[in-house]
Amino acid sequence: MAAVTRRKPARRPQPRGEAFVRAVLEATVAQLAEVGFERLSIPEIATLAGVNKTSVYRRWPGKDELVRDALAAAMRHVDAAPDTGDLRRDLVALARAVADFAQSAVGTGIVRILLAEGGNPEVRALAIAAYGEAGRQLPRAALARAIERGELASDVDPALVLFTIAGAIVHRVFIEQARATQPFLERVVDLVLHGALRRPRAGR
Tell the burial category of 50 from Cβ atoms under 10 Å away from its Cβ (0-12, 13-18, 19+).
middle
Write down all domains in the chain, each with its CATH number in brackets: 17-74 (1.10.10.60), 87-194 (1.10.357.10)
Kindly list the distances between the CA atom of residue 109 and the CA atoms of 63, 97, 99, 202, in Å, as whole numbers in the listed order.
17, 16, 14, 48
pTM tops 0.75, yes or no = no
Q: Which amino acid type is present at position 185?
A: L
Number of residues that this document lists for the chain: 204
Q: What is the pLDDT of residues 66-118, one digit of tens each?
A: 988 888 787 765 556 788 889 999 999 999 988 998 888 777 777 777 777 77
Say if residues 138 and 80 touch (Cβ distance below 8 Å): yes
Q: What is the pLDDT of residues 114-149, one digit of tens each?
A: 777 777 787 777 776 666 554 566 677 888 899 999
Q: Quick one: which H or E segment has residue 165?
A: helix 158-170
Say if residues 136 and 78 touch (Cβ distance below 8 Å): no
